[in-house]
Amino acid sequence: MVSKCFTLHAPSHHSSPFLTPSTISKLPCPSRSFTNFSLSTKLRKLSNHVPVEGSKLIRTRYDRCMQSNHVLLRCSNSSSNYEFEPDPTLTNEDLKPTTPTQRTFSALEMASLWVGLVVGVPSYYLAGSLVDLGMGWGQGIATVVAANMILLVPLVLTGHPGTHYGISFPVLARSSFGIHGAHIPTLLRALVGCGWYGIESWIGGEAIFLLLPKSIKNSTLCQSLTWLGTSPLEFLCFMAFWLAQLTIVWKGMDGIRELEKFSAPILIFLTSCLLIWSYVKAGGFGHMLSLSSRLSNKEFWSLFFPSLTANISFWATLALNIPDFTRYAKSQNDQIIGQIGLPIFMGLFTFVGIAVTSSTKVIFGQVISNPIQLLGQIGGFTTIILAIIGISLATITTNIAANVVAPANALVNLSPKLFTFRRGALLTAILGIAFQPWRLLKSSESFVYTWLVGYSALIGPIGGIILVDYYLIQKRNLCLRDLYSRSGLGAYYYSRGFNVAAIVALVFGVLPHIMPSAMTINDDKAPEIQYQKGVKQFYDNGNLLQRVPKKYILPPSERPSITNMEEPNVAMQNFQLPIIDFADLIGPNRSHALQSLANACENYGFFQVVNHSISDEVVRSMLDVNVRFFDLPLEERAKYMTTDMRAPVRYGTSFSQTKDTVFCWRDFLKLLSHPLSHFIPLWPSSPVDFRTNDSTRK
């Protein structure tokens, strides 16, 4: 708390002006070269009212911060009341420090922000993925909570200058990177935000699409258009969701605050309803939380640390631009207490995700980790309406706060005359469409998550530079006037507006991330990289194959033995194709047939079925349409590439006996088919008769 500041007196007599010092311990006008010793020495001289010539007094950056034409710098509290004339090219109403009347975020409203951010489809998946990897439900929750407790530290530390000075992330970056150098970190953060804004908007549109009546989803509007890259109906759902978000964004930060505030209780209520439903249907928490750890201690710790890192990175980008929100907090206590909500809400929502996902095994006989599919499975008009409202609201509250504010403020900082927050938010939304998220997600999910998540990881060094500068170099003292000045004498002008030291540190910080990616990109045509496109891509582009990649050649120790060592010319029978007799499934040998089927799936990855009672005509038509699917261009097949093991449609390639549990390198297409009426609309729309032929039952 700063109660007073320097006051420049102009006495009525004609003596030289002098400065009267007062409380100065937290004066927000630091000097990098002005030490505490020299400061106290000069102040002792001034306190004795020794006349000092103005031209000699204004020498250091500290003094220049105090000297201005028609400027009165007042520091009355942590909000840093001020009056000065900022450079118009560096500020507008959205970049100026917030005034006391604009600081309306209480601890409850800061916590509500995190409720809106946490409750969403990605967070629901988060702990479920850890359970899929073998963790117990308690271990999964503990991992998520531990990660967010760690993340809470940079969140609170980076949020401090936002609340103390009322400045946004782009303005704070000026103190570390320079008046012009600040564009580097802010635009990097903006690019990631724009990409994720488009992807989250597409996910929201897909939620609407998947919950539409089956009659609509089976119409011709669901046929994919090559030039568009998706079906007209899916694109319309995406645009409807995009426009719904725009109405909130257009209201600015006040609209976002109101959205988060009033959405929080609704999202908590709907989440509670889902938990109660699963509790009743599954018969209590005993069945819901019956999954135990499948890992040994050694296996758990080898999984724990990578999982911890992945969970920390979940909100890492928001930890960078959190001043965009804390600048509206009423006090430091409000921003700190409010942000403690992150590990609490993440822990609670993770519990819901694990409990509900586990309950689906009891209720439906299969694990359903996708909340959208689960809600569609529950069915009922009321459920569908509540599901659309809940999922849309959850996605909007996450998407706007996490992916709009930072890019909008970065654009305002880039050109304060051209952009306001509204215009920046509108351009962010348009860029989200330009990213064509439906192509990114369907054509190469590995590209999206490798590039965007990897790109987000590069932001870590930026956060480190800003924190070191603010706490260790600046000692939490910033000169507001120089943050809005292009003067060469300003404390943050550095070398023509760029802090070379910070930029060099950033380069060295990101090199470990960039170099492996660059090597991969440059070697994109190498056989070891081409394998990701599948074995058929090799066949179709035989001229690319100059040698057989080592990763496709099984070591001798892993190869199946197919010859008799005593009689080399006689083939052994130890490598036989598994044959499953479906007639046994309705007889006394049912349990044996099911066990044989399970063994074939686990040990071979394929099998032959006999006595299946399916006509030859149906089998031929199914084989024909599937062959034509694999003959489609790679871009069309790649729409269905995904790393989600439970996706309704999954296309990919597998070649490793030890990793993929297969004896041959094969491209595969996996379809979920029960209940058939629910999954057919999600199956490939090309070839045009694919859904009809593959769903035929005779």
Q: Does 549 have pLDDT greater than 90?
A: no
The β-bridge partners of 330 are none
Q: Which of 41-55, 229-243, 580-594 has the lowest mean pLDDT?
A: 41-55
Mean model confidence pLDDT for the chain: 75
Cβ neighbours for 630, distance < 8 A, ≥ 6 positions apart: 536, 637, 667, 669
pLDDT tens column, 119-143: 887 788 776 677 767 788 888 889 9
Sorted by where each starts, the structural domains of the chain and their CATH numbers stand as 7-66 (no CATH), 118-220+227-522 (1.10.4160.10), 579-694 (no CATH)
Both tokens assigned to 627: 């062959």
- Looking at the whole model, is its pTM more than 0.75? no
Question: Which has the higher per-residue pLDDT, 694 or 66?
Answer: 694
Element (H, E) at 668: strand 666-671
Which of 562, 558, 579, 583 minimizes the C-alpha distance to 571? 562
pLDDT at 288: 74
pLDDT at 49: 38
* Ramachandran angles phi, psi of 162, nearest 5°: -60, -45
How far, in Å, CA of 370 to CA of 374, rounded? 6
Q: Does 638 have pLDDT greater than 90?
A: no
pLDDT at 70: 36
pLDDT tens column, 8-36: 333 333 333 333 333 333 334 443 333 33
How far, in Å, CA of 689 to CA of 697, rounded? 15
Mean pLDDT calculated for residue range 486-501: 92
How far, in Å, CA of 197 to CA of 454, rounded? 16
Q: Does 437 have pLDDT greater than 70?
A: yes
Per-residue confidence at 299, pLDDT binned at 50, 70, 90? confident
Question: Which has the higher per-residue pLDDT, 429 or 437?
Answer: 429
Q: Does 695 have pLDDT greater than 70?
A: no
Both tokens assigned to 152: 């809470």
* Residues 143, 135 contacting (CB under 8 angstroms): yes
Per-residue confidence at 412, pLDDT binned at 50, 70, 90? very high
pLDDT tens column, 166-192: 999 999 999 999 999 999 999 999 988
DSSP-based three-state secondary structure for 72: strand
Both tokens assigned to 417: 């005359």
pLDDT at 35: 32
Both tokens assigned to 552: 């496709």
Q: Which of 344-358, 406-420, 496-510, 670-684 has the lowest mean pLDDT?
A: 670-684
Mean pLDDT calculated for residue range 639-649: 73
Q: Does 576 have pLDDT greater than 80?
A: no
Element (H, E) at 19: strand 19-20
Which of 128, 119, 146, 155 minimizes the C-alpha distance to 348? 119
Both tokens assigned to 61: 């950056």
pLDDT at 283: 83
How far, in Å, CA of 195 to CA of 434, rounded? 9
Which of 458, 396, 463, 455 minimizes the C-alpha distance to 429? 396
